[in-house]
Structure formats: C-alpha cells, structure tokens
C-alpha cells in the first residue's frame, strides 16, 4: 500500500510539473482542477476494471471513460462545445497514464484493498469535479440551480458509467453520502460566490469541503433514508 501511493504521488507530481509547463497560466487553476479530477477519476475507473479482472484494454477503456465522461456531459449541457476533451489532448493522455499506472502497480496491491482505493480516488475526484463543474457553469452564465446541477453531474457522471460498465448499481444511488456531498459542495460554492469570494479560493474550499464531506460520510456510514417496501396481505403465512 505504501509503495502504491508513493508511486501515484510521484506520478501526480510529474504530471503537474508537465502541465504547468504547457498551459496558459491565466487559466491554469481551472485546467488544474479539470486535469487533476480527470486523473483521479481515471484511477478509480482503472481500479474498478482491475478488481473485475479485466485485461489491459479494459483497464484503459475504464480509465479514459470514467476520467473524461463527467466533464464531457457537463460541457455538452452548458453549451461548451466542442467539449474540452476534444480541444486539449491532455485529458486523454492523463487518463491513459492513470490507467497504465494502475495496471502496472496492480501486482503490488492486495485485491481486498481495491474498494478502499476506489473510494479514496472517487472522493478526490468528486471534490475537484464538483468545484470545476460549478465554476465552468458560472462562467457560462448558468442560473444557480443549473450551477449546482452542473457541479454534481460533472462529479458523478463518470462514476455512474463506471458502475454501469461493471454491471453494478451506480454508487450514486446506493452509496453513503456520495451525490449528497457533491450537492452540498455546490451549494457552498454558490454561497461563497454570492459573498464575493475570489474564484481560486472558492475552487479550493469547495473541493476540500466536498472531499471531506464524502470521506466523513463514508467513515460514519451516513446516508439518505431508504424506502422500505411494505408487505401485502397474504404474503406471510403467519
């Protein structure tokens, strides 16, 4: 476990250095959030594929799909077309690298540890994509409700496709405090924007708050109420 996260941390650092060397610094904070969110979501997709014993192609497909899908859906809905993935190759490259890294280090990870890996990467991606989705919607003049929707959809879209591809009920519908954490983060973003918080600070606060809410919900097993189906008369032989 320690070796795995050390390798991932070093990889993220190198990607950030490369990223800062090629982007326009005027938009660097926005692209940073988008690229880093793509990277960690791609890691979660690759981890899911490995846990399902998929081959190399399956791991890469999961990584790219999960890493890029949420942002693509967001961009289409707010009218930011062509979508960012089609305008900047860094997204595909970063998602591919994330999938390759997980594939290469899989033999150093215990199978039982993959659910915790997925949750860890998912929480980080959830925070970064919630913040970025809200900021991008705000820049396109979307109304407050649409901003919350954009932030949440950016955050959960890739994970929904990941779980569907893995033939599982999407985590967003069953997990403890998953989409709820994203919605709370988006609402916090709106509040901070309303009181005039600087954009860069708003992004970081929203991302960290959302990550914290997701992790706390996971640790405390917080979840929304679940409907319990009643019994029809005659169902029980009492």
Q: What is the pLDDT of residues 43-89, one digit of tens each?
A: 888 888 888 889 999 999 999 998 998 889 899 989 988 998 898 88
Within 13 Å and on the Cβ side, how many CA atoms surround 80?
21
What token pair was written down for 97? 């690298």
Q: How far apart are CA 3 and CA 19, in angstroms?
A: 24
Is 227 a domain residue?
A: no
Q: Are 207 and 131 in contact (CB under 8 A)?
A: yes
Phi and psi at 52, nearest 5°, equal: -95, 10
Taking 50 as the threshold, does the pLDDT of residue 98 lie above it? yes
The pLDDT, as a whole number, for residue 217 is 87
Coil, strand, or helix at residue 55?
coil
Q: How confident is the model at residue 30 (pLDDT cuts 50, 70, 90)?
A: confident
**Quick one: pLDDT band at residue 131, thresholds 50, 70, 90?**
very high
- In tens, the pLDDT along 212-228 reads 999 888 888 777 777 77
Query: What is the predicted pLDDT for the residue at 101?
Result: 87
Mean pLDDT of 111-120: 63
| Residue 208 within a domain | yes
- Judged against a pLDDT cut of 60, whether residue 4 lies above it is answered with no
- Residue 230 counted as domain residue: no
In a domain, 123, yes or no: yes
How would residue 144 be classed by pLDDT, with cut points 50, 70 and 90? very high
Q: Which pLDDT band, with edges at 50, 70 and 90, does 18 fall under?
A: low
Q: Express as a percent the part of the chain with pLDDT over 70.
A: 78
**Is 140 within the bounds of a domain?**
yes
Name the percent of the chain lying above pLDDT 90.
Answer: 32
Question: Are residues 37 and 129 in contact, defined by beta-carbon separation less than 8 angstroms?
Answer: yes
pLDDT for residue 200: 86
What single DSSP character describes residue 161? Answer: H
- Is residue 227 within 8 Å of 145, Cβ to Cβ? no
Separation of alpha carbons 34 and 155, rounded Å: 11
Domain count along the chain: 1
- Residue 237: inside a domain, yes or no? no
User: In the predicted model, what is the mean pLDDT of residues 91-96?
Assistant: 91
Higher pLDDT pick, 49 / 177: 49
Mean pLDDT computed over 88-107 = 87
Position with higher pLDDT, 82 vs 12: 82
| Res. 11 pLDDT band, cuts 50 70 90 | low
In a domain, 79, yes or no: yes
Domain that holds residue 184: 2-18+27-220
Tens-place pLDDT, residues 145-155: 999 999 999 99
Q: Give the mean model confidence (pLDDT) for residues 164-188.
A: 85
Residue 98 placed within a domain: yes
Q: Which of 84, 70, 92 is nearest to 179 (CA)?
A: 70
């Amino acid at each position: 476990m320690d070796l795995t996260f050390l390798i991932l941390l070093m990889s993220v650092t190198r990607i950030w250095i490369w990223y800062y060397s090629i982007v326009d610094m005027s938009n660097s904070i926005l692209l940073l959030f988008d690229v880093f969110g793509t990277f960690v979501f791609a890691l979660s997709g690759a981890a899911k594929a490995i846990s399902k014993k998929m081959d190399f192609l399956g791991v890469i497909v999961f990584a790219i799909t999960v890493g890029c899908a949420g942002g693509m859906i967001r961009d289409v809905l707010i009218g930011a077309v062509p979508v960012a993935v089609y305008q900047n190759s860094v997204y595909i490259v970063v998602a591919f690298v994330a999938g390759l890294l997980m594939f290469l280090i899989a033999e150093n990870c215990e199978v039982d540890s993959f659910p915790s890996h997925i949750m860890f990467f998912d929480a980080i991606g959830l925070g970064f994509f919630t913040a970025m989705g809200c900021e991008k919607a705000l820049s396109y003049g979307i109304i407050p409700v649409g901003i919350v929707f954009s932030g949440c959809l950016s955050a959960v879209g890739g994970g929904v496709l990941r779980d569907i591809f893995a033939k599982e009920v999407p985590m967003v519908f069953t997990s403890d405090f998953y989409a709820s954490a994203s919605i709370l983060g988006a609402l916090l973003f709106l509040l901070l924007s309303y009181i005039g918080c600087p954009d860069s600070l708003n992004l970081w606060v929203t991302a960290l708050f959302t990550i914290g809410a997701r992790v706390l919900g996971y640790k405390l097993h917080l979840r929304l109420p679940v409907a319990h189906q009643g019994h029809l008369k005659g169902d029980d032989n009492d």
